[in-house]
Structure 1
Amino acid sequence: MASTPSLTVFYDGACPLCQREIGLLRRLDGRRGRINFEDVSQPDAAPSCSIEREVLMARFHSRLPSGEIVSGARAFTEAWSRIPYFIWLRPIGRFAPTRGALNLIYREFLKIRPGLQRLAARTDSRP
């Protein structure tokens, strides 16, 4: 029996990279139900938070059980730490110096994300 989701992840379901990561998180979470996944990619999507859809799609966001919305490195580490073998990631994402370093890396990743998305889409469309 699945527990009440402790975290909501907002993701771009039209992004091949996002699809892969969310697919992996879903498989690893299995039937535990610790993560609720909300696809905000459709133009008529009505996210269950006050952040605009375009903002949610541009950067990784999660809603904590407290209702706080986090983004970037903290959102990733909160999501991954819900998976049993990755619980050790939570303190890394909450510790300001490591979170800052991870956010710098994430900002650089966001610059190359469009190219990686195109590459992933081409790879996915091959027979």
Structure 2
Amino acid sequence: MESELSRSAVYFDGSCPLCRAEIEYYRGKDHASALCFIDVSQMGAVLPDGVTQRCAMERFHVRARNGQILSGAAAFVEVWARLPGWRWAERAAALPGAMTTLEFGYRLFLPVRPFISRLFGKIERLRARADRTKRG
């Protein structure tokens, strides 16, 4: 297991069903404990200097191993760099123009995230209800 200082801190919106699912996926892939996950929707969550709770909930942030605060596409690339099986994506992001394209795509996604999250939440609730019915 890596020391706390060598881990990348992933700041995520735990009130977002889509975000929670994505983070659970990353947790499952993080066999080396290279990532530390911080739910910014929780009261008292410790945020990096200069990042407000609102900002952290609106846009994905990561504190890289070197202490740099990354957001958007750059934050995702840091996560991919730390996960086995995803390092190919980090290498692809290093290609000329790739980061600009990834950030553009991320910015296009942000306005539709609330809709996708609500839809994902409804699907989550339907699955939970079906599971309760099966067990009951």
TM-score, normalised to structure 1's length? 0.90
* Larger Rg, first or second structure (1 or 2): 2
Query: Which residue does 1:24 correspond to in 2?
Result: 25
Contact 1:74 1:94 in 2 (8 A): no
Tell me which residue corresponds to 1:38.
38
Counterpart residue type for residue 45 of structure 2: A
How far 1:14 sits from its partner (Å)?
Answer: 0.8
Moved over 3 A (4+): 91-96
**Is the Cα contact below 8 Å between 1:74 and 1:99 reproduced in 2?**
yes
The alpha-carbon deviation at position 88 of structure 1 amounts to 2.1
Q: Is the 8 A contact 1:77 1:92 kept in 2?
A: no
TM-score, scaled to structure 2: 0.84
Tell me, which stretches of 5 or more residues in structure 2 are unaligned? 130-136
Which residues in structure 2 correspond to 1:96-107 (within 5 Å)? 97-107=97-107
Q: Which residue of 1 aligns with 2:63?
A: 63
Three-state SS of the structure 1 residue aligned to 2:33 is coil
Q: How many residues align?
A: 124
Other-structure match for 1:3:
2
Counterpart in the other structure of 1:85: 85
Q: CA separation in 2, counterparts of 1:90 and 1:47?
A: 27
Q: Indicate the percent of aligned positions where both proteins have the same amino acid.
A: 35
The one-letter amino acid of 1:115's match is F
The alpha carbon displacement at 1:91 in A equals 3.3
Report which stretch shifted further, 47-56 or 15-24. 47-56
Q: Cα offset for 1:97? A: 1.4
**Secondary structure, aligned partner of 2:62:** strand
Letter in 2 for 1:57: M
State the Cα distance separating 1:46 from its structure 2 match.
3.4
Deviation at 1:96, TM superposition (A): 5.8
Whether 1:14 aligns to 2:24 is no
In structure 1, runs of 5+ residues without a counterpart are none
Q: CA deviation at 1:83?
A: 1.0
RMSD over aligned Cα, in angstroms?
1.5
Distance 1:92 1:71, change over 3 A: farther
CA distance in 1, matches of 2:96, 2:74: 10
